[in-house]
């Protein structure tokens, strides 16, 4: 007598009854853990738990448990759905493991989307062909042959369009640029943000330039991102013919060296092009900084050229008038303890200068050669920590001063930059020494200021480290 244990369906049914719940519990826990970590594999695990595992169990019960023939329509329908879900899992898994989780800068992260589309199309075509061949017994070879003949006919009818696609694909296979590269084409300049079947999308900063791949294949273009670390911005300026070229070049290089967009460990250079023209080469990390670096450089050159007595665009500086100079001396007179007679005697020994917004008036560690007294505007004192962080110490206003260690010939402890356009009164070291010799109380004031600035820097650094 045959028992239930001898039935061919028994062990299959028990395996599904026991294995399905266990697998569901394990996959649920795995899926929750991946979700908590924002892992890209969470979606493939979700497909496996909710669709593939139940459909696989149902297919086993139909064929092995209920002994239904695989040639019947219900079994074929379930098998087809199972095959399609497996195909979706393969697409999702490959995308998650190879591309979504790719580290920045790797070839997987930079690969154009067109290649992903081609890979998906090939995988889908092969998968659908296998499903129809093994489940439904379709003549896939004949179908692909018919598609091949149709493709030839369609290609002849659309040879111009197909030629454009092929030429675009050749450009992409050659990889003359990658996602994130900055290129300049006959139609515009910008950063490559997307590459698809038909065109390359370039972010120009003022909109999105859609450049057909066939146009890129037929035209020449410049890639500013290759080789890396070689991009430089060239800025032309004009000075008066009487300005000494060496003085102009030194001023231009000093201003360019202060730019925050300057590439680390790089040095700008300026050359005299003859006549009135000068060219300054500024190494930058990325072409994205071109506009900001150029505008800031030209703005700071305007102020620096006037402080140096040079004539940008052959213009004369008429800012320092006797009236403005007298007014400025009156503003700083209480700081230097000057009476009216001393103010008049003080005028021939001072000079007015202006600094642009965010331009540095002094750097920490340098020994000042003169003192600067703030007349208008505000100046921010900052200190840079060992890890590169910038900490604000205090803000200077009209009547405050910089460079007080010029008397002791000690380096200053803090840097200073203009928060807005700042006008300062410059007093050379020799005249400061003369003033302190006649007014010993000034020497005490400057000594207190030096100690107070040091204490302020220490407090600011200590507060930042808490």
Confidence of residue 109 (pLDDT cuts 50, 70, 90): low
Tell whether the model's pLDDT for residue 424 goes beyond 60: yes
Tell whether the model's pLDDT for residue 348 goes beyond 80: yes
The two tokens of residue 212 are: 């057909």
**How many C-beta atoms surround the C-beta of residue 254 within 10 A?**
15
Q: What is the mean pLDDT of the chain?
A: 83
Could you tell me if 267 and 257 are in contact, meaning their C-beta atoms sit under 8 angstroms apart?
yes
Backbone angles phi, psi at 76, to 5 degrees: -65, -40
Query: What pLDDT does 324 receive?
Result: 93
Asked if the domains at 232-307 and 322-465 fall in one CATH topology, the answer is: no
In CATH, what is the architecture of 322-465? Sandwich (2.60)
Query: What pLDDT does 184 receive?
Result: 85
Radius of gyration of the chain (CA): 37
Tell whether the model's pLDDT for residue 98 goes beyond 70: no
pLDDT in tens, 357-368: 999 999 999 999
Strand order of the sheet with strand 277-283? Answer: 232-238, 277-283, 269-274
Query: What pLDDT does 146 receive?
Result: 55
Please tell me the least confidently modeled range out of 18-22, 231-235, 339-343: 18-22
Please tell me the least confidently modeled range out of 2-11, 169-178, 302-311: 2-11
Sign for the CA dihedral angle at 412, 299, 421, 346 comes to positive
Query: What pLDDT does 19 receive?
Result: 82
**Mean pLDDT for the stretch of residues 170-191:** 79
Query: What pLDDT does 63 receive?
Result: 76
Nearest to 298 by CA among 361, 224, 356: 356
The two tokens of residue 170 are: 């050749």
For 176-223, the fitting CATH number among 3.40.50.300, 3.40.50.2300, 2.30.30.60, 3.30.1330.80 is: 2.30.30.60
Tell whether the model's pLDDT for residue 309 goes beyond 80: yes
For the chain, the domains span 4-157, 176-223, 232-307, 322-465
Confidence of residue 34 (pLDDT cuts 50, 70, 90): confident
Which residue blocks in 37-112 are alpha helix, DSSP H? 42-47, 53-60, 73-94, 107-110
Confidence of residue 214 (pLDDT cuts 50, 70, 90): confident
Tell whether the model's pLDDT for residue 161 goes beyond 90: no
Beta bridge partners of 284: 262
Q: Which residues contact 162 (CB under 8 A, 6 or more apart)?
A: 155
**Mean pLDDT for the stretch of residues 346-359:** 93
Strands (E), 323-385: 350-355, 360-362, 370-376, 379-384
Could you tell me if 307 and 353 are in contact, meaning their C-beta atoms sit under 8 angstroms apart?
yes
**Mean pLDDT for the stretch of residues 12-33:** 83
Tell whether the model's pLDDT for residue 335 goes beyond 70: yes
Q: How many CA atoms lie within 13 A of 46 on its CB side?
A: 11
Tell whether the model's pLDDT for residue 113 goes beyond 70: no
CA–CA dist 373, 332 (Å, integer): 7
The two tokens of residue 279 are: 């060219």
Tell whether the model's pLDDT for residue 114 goes beyond 70: no
CA–CA dist 257, 297 (Å, integer): 10
**How many C-beta atoms surround the C-beta of residue 372 within 10 A?**
24
Could you tell me if 190 and 205 are in contact, meaning their C-beta atoms sit under 8 angstroms apart?
yes
Nearest-5° angle of CA 61, CA 64, CA 69?
100
Nearest to 225 by CA among 262, 184, 196, 168: 184
Query: What pLDDT does 1 receive?
Result: 46
**Mean pLDDT for the stretch of residues 316-326:** 90
Please tell me the least confidently modeled range out of 20-34, 85-99, 256-270, 449-463: 85-99
Please tell me the least confidently modeled range out of 42-56, 64-78, 415-429: 64-78
pLDDT in tens, 405-417: 898 899 998 999 9
Query: What pLDDT does 22 receive?
Result: 87
pTM: 0.65
CATH code reported for the domain at 232-307: 3.30.70
Q: Which residues contact 165 (CB under 8 A, 6 or more apart)?
A: 197, 198, 213, 214
CA–CA dist 397, 119 (Å, integer): 65
**Mean pLDDT for the stretch of residues 330-348:** 91
- Residue, of 416 and 100, whose pLDDT is higher: 416
**Mean pLDDT for the stretch of residues 308-324:** 92
Please tell me the least confidently modeled range out of 47-51, 139-143, 288-292, 447-451: 139-143
Please tell me the least confidently modeled range out of 91-105, 262-276, 293-307, 331-345: 91-105
Confidence of residue 166 (pLDDT cuts 50, 70, 90): low
Query: What pLDDT does 371 receive?
Result: 94
pLDDT in tens, 355-402: 999 999 999 999 999 999 999 999 999 998 877 788 999 999 999 999
């Amino acid at each position: 007598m045959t028992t239930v244990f001898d039935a061919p369906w028994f062990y299959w049914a028990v395996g599904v009854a026991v294995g399905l719940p266990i697998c569901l519990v394990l996959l649920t826990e795995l899926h929750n853990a991946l979700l908590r970590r924002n892992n890209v594999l969470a979606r493939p695990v979700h497909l496996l738990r909710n669709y593939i595992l139940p459909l696989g169990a149902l297919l086993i019960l139909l064929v092995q448990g209920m002994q239904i023939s695989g040639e019947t329509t219900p079994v074929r329908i379930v098998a087809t759905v199972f095959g399609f879900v497996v195909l979706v899992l393969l697409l999702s898994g490959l995308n998650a493991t190879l591309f979504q989780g790719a580290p920045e800068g790797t070839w997987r992260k930079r690969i154009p989307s067109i290649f992903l589309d081609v890979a998906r199309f090939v995988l889908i075509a092969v998968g659908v062909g296998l499903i129809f061949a093994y489940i439904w017994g379709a003549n896939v070879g004949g179908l692909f042959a018919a598609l091949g003949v149709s493709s030839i006919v369609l290609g002849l009818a659309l040879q111009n369009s197909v030629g454009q696609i092929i030429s675009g694909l050749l450009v992409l296979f050659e990889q003359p640029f990658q996602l994130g590269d900055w290129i300049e084409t006959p139609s515009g300049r910008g950063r490559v943000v997307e590459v698809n079947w038909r065109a390359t999308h370039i972010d120009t900063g003022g909109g999105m330039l859609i450049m057909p791949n066939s146009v890129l294949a037929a035209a020449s273009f410049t890639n500013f991102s290759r080789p890396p670390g070689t991009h430089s911005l060239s800025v032309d300026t004009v000075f008066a013919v009487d300005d000494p070229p060496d003085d102009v070049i030194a001023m231009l290089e000093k201003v360019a060296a202060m730019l925050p967009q300057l590439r680390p460990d790089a040095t700008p250079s300026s050359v005299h092009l003859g006549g009135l023209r000068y060219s300054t080469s500024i190494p930058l990390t990325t072409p994205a900084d071109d506009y900001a670096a150029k505008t800031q450089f030209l703005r700071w050159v305007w102020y620096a050229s006037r402080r140096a007595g040079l004539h940008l665009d052959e213009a004369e500086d008429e800012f320092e008038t006797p009236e403005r100079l007298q007014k400025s001396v009156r503003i700083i007179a209480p700081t230097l303890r000057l009476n009216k007679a001393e103010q008049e005697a003080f005028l021939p020994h001072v000079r007015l200068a202006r600094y642009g917004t965010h331009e540095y008036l002094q750097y920490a560690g340098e020994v000042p050669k003169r003192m600067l007294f703030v007349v208008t505007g505000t100046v921010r004192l900052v200190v840079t920590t060992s890890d590169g962080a910038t900490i604000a110490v205090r803000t200077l206003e009209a009547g405050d001063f910089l460079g007080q260690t010029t008397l002791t010939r000690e380096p200053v402890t803090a840097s200073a930059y203009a928060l807005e356009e700042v006008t300062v009164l410059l007093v050379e070291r020799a005249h400061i020494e003369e003033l302190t010799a006649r007014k010993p109380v000034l020497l005490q004031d400057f000594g207190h200021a030096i100690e107070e600035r040091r204490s302020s820097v220490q407090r600011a650094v200590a507060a930042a480290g808490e």
